[in-house]
Structure 1
């Protein structure tokens, strides 16, 4: 990674280095103090008599006091939560389901009534409803006997001449037959035509047959229809259906709680006022509603929880009155939480600074800083990062914030600690190796700071370490979100494993706590995604997300490059392709290389006509100047001017570094030679760029790509690979011998690996094409339209087919 440029300063280079050195030391010192302060919060006033401590003598109250009774307060809060009336939420889908079920049952009833023959099945002036019911249900012998009696009675009536007296005397003589049925049947026989009477008998016989078959169906159908349905008249059935529908809607609109006991539901239905008056019909309506009613009130757990929390918070702190000399803790017993709170209010817990733990924590933190410093100095290549002062500041903020949150949230809120966000953030900015190193060091310090809650902290530490190990400059933000889910699952799994081994956690509590640990992983991802945009304005390094945003060609500076200097833009794209391929070969940051290359020549937008790629055949302004010193100064200004443009548009410093470092301190050879021809007093420094030379592998790669771009463009397609590589290696050697690559960690072996990559990109860009006939150049250089005579063949079949197309042009 390049250094933070400040090329407008007139201070010597050594002064800048000293300033950066002391700035870095100041940041490290502040971070050290902040970490110590955060980790040792509990040690500044640690009680000597803590919860679980044995006392060797009775502890009594030295004065009268009303102390906090934490157990009584906890019990009062719990009772308040339990007494909260749940909040219910109505579900219209259940209401619709209940109505649908009722309609299905009523349809079953309609079908049974239709199959049995609706009541009345004959005119009520002929037979009453009760008689019609009776005639349907009597047995076949009874039906035959009733017909015989009606015939005999009708004959007697005809002989006696008086219809009513004869029927009455016949009924009185035969007490075994239902008098009304016999009387109505005989009366109709006497008054109606013989064919009408026979038609009535046939109808009754048909209905009896259908009724018998329907009785078998009803016996297998819904229970509420077995005894009552078929005995109802049409009017009674329609009225019953109407009242039942309305009653169901009333019950559902009033609300039915899930789990309501059956006796309470039956009592509620019995007390409904809009049911049928007839007892049998009423019982059937209740049975229908009871079988179709659906519980439509579900507990709103969020609302109920909020109500319970409010009820718990409204409970006043319970206090216990203590008199002088009252026993608080008996000698030989452990101090409970309730006793500890009382002792602490009486200032009897003997709070003091834990010097030993503070010294241990300070020494351990110093060791951790020493390991980090050694790794940053000696293992830069292994960690794949070169840290700057701003990076140290960002790391200090992340580490201090993570440790402070962990210490403050312990022990009650440890399950929600977003410690994994530290690894997610550092891995996104730098590398997984640096994130893993820092996470391991911070984890070790946390185990000392909150050792009493080590088992509760273990799942969080495992999740943080895994998050750091698998986060290596991800290209998308969704990777962080997915990692948060993985960390949550891992933390929950580790907790469940510990709980099972311990074997003392109830399953329900284990499940709830596991979900809390899982939510901690998701919270870590949310914290990381929210913090990264702010940290990008503090840190020197940039995340791949930010680099991708800055590589958008709609950014103001890049849009200016495209519109004002099209030739430079094409040059930039070719250099970017070369540099990205080389960075991928060496394992460097390809996203940084490509984005940095897009901005490396933005200074040419200030005076584009002075650079040959933008002249487009126009006269060269340098020829008009005829002054190599001024021309060299103009060329050098594309670096200084580019830096000013970048600062004006707030381009991050990491990308600003590509502007001067891609030129380093190389000499502008052409104008230097021109000046030597004109004067004997020529200073080489006047024709060298200000620098600095490349400070990272990425800027070093861009320097080589920029130097080789023009040379590769000049090569023909018939150039051999050996000649192309020899040309590139001469350019590399020039830069190497000029000392331009000494600070960027590139080795000669790296240069030997880069050369074939550059040649491959050049070959892909300059692939060969078919050479079309000379005449084609006059018509269409692409060769897609040729005169017919160039495509003639001796094949007669082919010639015949060509006559079907136009004479002038042969299609593709």
Structure 2
């Protein structure tokens, strides 16, 4: 049993390996943009070999090193910790002249308001509460006296600001300080001036931090306390090969010149070429498995690779492979297919920034395993609800798998490690949920066709399909019949069933521009082509249903793989009926004028639809006594006609698959022609008055 299943799987793999059809042609600027992004991926991936030292704390030592001589090495880690401790206590603040100007302007406005109050007999809104005695003094004081009083208040504010003003000073303290500054004045104007000063300064500060002076103070304090150092004796073991480099060991290695901080052009060139080749292979694999791959979809895969590499370099040892690799692999597998998602996952894992510690290697393998499961499962999800379930299950599976692997490796992780794994799983779940919310936008912008989107577009209540059922009911019924045939054919040769079914529903939407010109919508009425009596005009009307269909596809934003069904289901077929009439009038008429403009089918799915479209009317018109072998021969003749006309040359469909299609179409016809039981219908009883 197991051997039989393995043999079947091997045959399927060999079958999938066979090329289907050649990839589509890209424009020069599209190719240039893809190559540019490949170069950016290579640059980011090889960045550590260009600007970073060859050693750093936290990585495994590539060699064993001993101290060549005794030395006192500055402990940079302890020095930085001490510096961080001194920062809150050593910040130097200076007076900010811009803040002084704003506070002086506010006091000036308050003084003007008080002086206007003194000159007016009407009650106005005052900046501070003014007593009756102070109001009488203001009205009785002359202009010279008020000017002198205002000058004293301004000078008092300047003296207070020059000493520095903190925002948290209590109002009572400000009022007391202002009163002391105005002590030469009489009690009545002194109290009013002090309240004006306190009101203008309350809650404000004219101080700002000076980084330069603060740094000098910190350095002076560190010098006074003593710079932390590491005492090294000659022959002391600095680090052993394979051990993790500690910050102190890194300082000692750097002191003895064992850390290379210079750019390594040869190493950088080698790794950049390696990353460039990997990005190029990724694009080739994507085009191999998806011949209709658009440049923007290749840019999406390369852009995701670039973002992952950037975050992995930025975060360093804190980067989580599970969080960075799984969401893009899931998205690409949904939109471009499982093989594309797996290819991207392999490229991203291969280009993970070096060096990779033993712990990071384990986490990377776990992420690759979870990402592979996500890519394999993504191709089977047919609704947003199923994708939501997957977004919940994947973080849980990743958490459990990482915990089991790390526990067996580290002999039981501590509470902090468990909390980190839980946080990582929660972050992964949040990213997957956010991806589900943004998926429709990504699908529209990059032209991705996921299973969930195909199911949504196949809803018969969609606006365009609803229009087709109301305005062209005959075409709509013809469409449903074609969809049934095409779906069975796709199932027989293991093509994309969802894509074929949805494409079949939209392939004839262009007939909405004039339903009465197509026989399935005419019923018992007259055929307008007879009254037109112009085969060339009739041929133009038939071609117009393809052109108008493409316009509707753009208007309703159908994905390109669905829009391709509209012209390719007709290919470059002959309009034989009107060509015959035209040659009755002029035998020299060129056949090309009565052919659809194409293109011919460029995928197995569009080829299936073309054959189903050609066989549907013929199967329905077979007489009741037709045998299954006769129906099969009729379908074979139609398919061979299409094949002899070179309509299937670019579809990648094989002869064996054509035979499977014949049998599938006949099975559908047999189901449609099944026998029914003749139920007796009783005679209707009459009624008597």
2:646 is aligned with 1:736: no
* Contact 1:603 1:643 (8 Å CA) reproduced: yes
Question: Which one of the candidate residues 749, 770, 786 is aligned to 2:683?
Answer: 786
Shift in Å, 1:470? 3.1
Other-structure match for 2:149: none
Q: Deviations over 1:784-809 (max 9, x none)?
A: 4336xxxxxxxxxxxxxxxxxx7889
SS of corresponding position for 2:352: helix
Other-structure match for 1:388: 294
2:543 is aligned with 1:636: yes
SS of corresponding position for 2:629: helix
Other-structure match for 2:582: 675
Other-structure match for 2:389: 482
* Contact 1:67 1:319 (8 Å CA) reproduced: no
* Partner Cα separation in structure 1 for residue 423 and residue 365 of structure 2: 14
Shift in Å, 1:543? 0.6
2:330 is aligned with 1:420: no
- Which residues of structure 2 form unaligned runs of 5+? 1-22, 88-213, 240-244
* Partner Cα separation in structure 1 for residue 441 and residue 357 of structure 2: 33
2:372 is aligned with 1:372: no
Change (3 A) 1:469 1:363: farther
Change (3 A) 1:764 1:76: farther
Q: What does 1:583-598 correspond to in 2, within 5 Å? A: 583-598=490-505
Shift in Å, 1:551? 1.8
* Contact 1:372 1:438 (8 Å CA) reproduced: yes
Q: Deviations over 1:437-494 (max 9, x none)?
A: 2211221111646568434444333322332233225212233333334432333334
Other-structure match for 1:400: 306
* Partner Cα separation in structure 1 for residue 400 and residue 373 of structure 2: 13
* Contact 1:493 1:514 (8 Å CA) reproduced: no
Q: What does 1:246-261 correspond to in 2, within 5 Å? A: none
Q: What does 1:66-105 correspond to in 2, within 5 Å? A: 69-72=79-82
Change (3 A) 1:456 1:634: closer
* Partner Cα separation in structure 1 for residue 379 and residue 419 of structure 2: 32
Change (3 A) 1:491 1:517: farther
* Partner Cα separation in structure 2 for residue 442 and residue 539 of structure 1: 20
Change (3 A) 1:67 1:541: closer
* Partner Cα separation in structure 2 for residue 467 and residue 322 of structure 1: 54
Q: What does 1:449-488 correspond to in 2, within 5 Å? A: 450=356, 453-488=360-395
Other-structure match for 2:339: 433
Shift in Å, 1:727? 0.6
Shift in Å, 1:553? 2.5
Q: Deviations over 1:104-140 (max 9, x none)?
A: xxxxxxxxxxxxxxxxxxxxxxxxxxxxxxxxxxxxx
* Contact 1:43 1:353 (8 Å CA) reproduced: yes
Shift in Å, 1:384? 6.6
* Partner Cα separation in structure 2 for residue 356 and residue 66 of structure 1: 30
Change (3 A) 1:385 1:25: closer
* Contact 2:511 2:545 (8 Å CA) reproduced: yes
Shift in Å, 1:755? 1.3
SS of corresponding position for 1:588: coil
Shift in Å, 1:48? 5.0
Shift in Å, 1:385? 6.0
Shift in Å, 1:711? 0.5
2:260 is aligned with 1:363: no
* Contact 1:491 1:517 (8 Å CA) reproduced: no
Q: With the length of structure 2 as denominator, give the TM-score of the two structures.
A: 0.68
Shift in Å, 1:735? 0.3
Q: Deviations over 1:27-51 (max 9, x none)?
A: 4312312322332343442135632
Question: Which one of the candidate residues 618, 622, 628 is aligned to 1:715?
Answer: 622
Q: With the length of structure 1 as denominator, give the TM-score of the two structures.
A: 0.58
* Partner Cα separation in structure 2 for residue 490 and residue 72 of structure 1: 42
Other-structure match for 1:92: none
Question: Which one of the candidate residues 742, 756, 762 is aligned to 2:669?
Answer: 762
Other-structure match for 1:621: 528
Q: Deviations over 1:709-759 (max 9, x none)?
A: 110111123211011111100000000000000111111211111112112
Q: What does 1:246-395 correspond to in 2, within 5 Å? A: 321=221, 323=223, 328-331=229-232, 332=236, 333=238, 336-337=246-247, 351-372=261-282, 375-376=285-286, 380=288, 383=289, 386-395=292-301
Shift in Å, 1:665? 0.3
* Partner Cα separation in structure 2 for residue 575 and residue 672 of structure 1: 25
* Contact 1:68 1:342 (8 Å CA) reproduced: no
Other-structure match for 2:564: 657
2:37 is aligned with 1:34: no
* Partner Cα separation in structure 2 for residue 354 and residue 473 of structure 1: 47
Other-structure match for 2:56: 50
Other-structure match for 1:609: 516
* Partner Cα separation in structure 2 for residue 66 and residue 408 of structure 1: 21
* Partner Cα separation in structure 2 for residue 576 and residue 59 of structure 1: 82
Change (3 A) 1:550 1:31: same
Shift in Å, 1:390? 2.9
Change (3 A) 1:495 1:356: farther
* Partner Cα separation in structure 2 for residue 338 and residue 75 of structure 1: 19
SS of corresponding position for 2:373: helix
SS of corresponding position for 2:460: coil
* Partner Cα separation in structure 2 for residue 507 and residue 743 of structure 1: 60
Larger Rg over CA atoms: 1
* Partner Cα separation in structure 2 for residue 473 and residue 397 of structure 1: 25
The two structures, once aligned, show a CA RMSD in angstroms of 3.7
* Partner Cα separation in structure 1 for residue 342 and residue 536 of structure 2: 53
Shift in Å, 1:421? 0.8
* Partner Cα separation in structure 1 for residue 631 and residue 676 of structure 2: 20
Q: Deviations over 1:615-653 (max 9, x none)?
A: 121111110011111111111111111112222222222
* Contact 1:429 1:473 (8 Å CA) reproduced: no
Change (3 A) 1:338 1:451: closer
* Contact 2:332 2:340 (8 Å CA) reproduced: yes
* Contact 1:662 1:694 (8 Å CA) reproduced: yes
SS of corresponding position for 2:446: coil
* Partner Cα separation in structure 2 for residue 59 and residue 32 of structure 1: 47
2:28 is aligned with 1:22: yes
2:506 is aligned with 1:599: yes
2:476 is aligned with 1:566: no
Q: Deviations over 1:496-555 (max 9, x none)?
A: 344334436543234223323433542452243244223212334411111122222232
Deviates more, 1:28-37 or 1:590-599: 28-37
Change (3 A) 1:527 1:460: farther
2:631 is aligned with 1:724: yes
Change (3 A) 1:651 1:58: farther
Change (3 A) 1:44 1:685: same
Q: What does 1:216-255 correspond to in 2, within 5 Å? A: none
* Partner Cα separation in structure 2 for residue 76 and residue 459 of structure 1: 42
* Contact 1:403 1:446 (8 Å CA) reproduced: yes
Other-structure match for 2:14: none
* Partner Cα separation in structure 1 for residue 57 and residue 354 of structure 2: 19
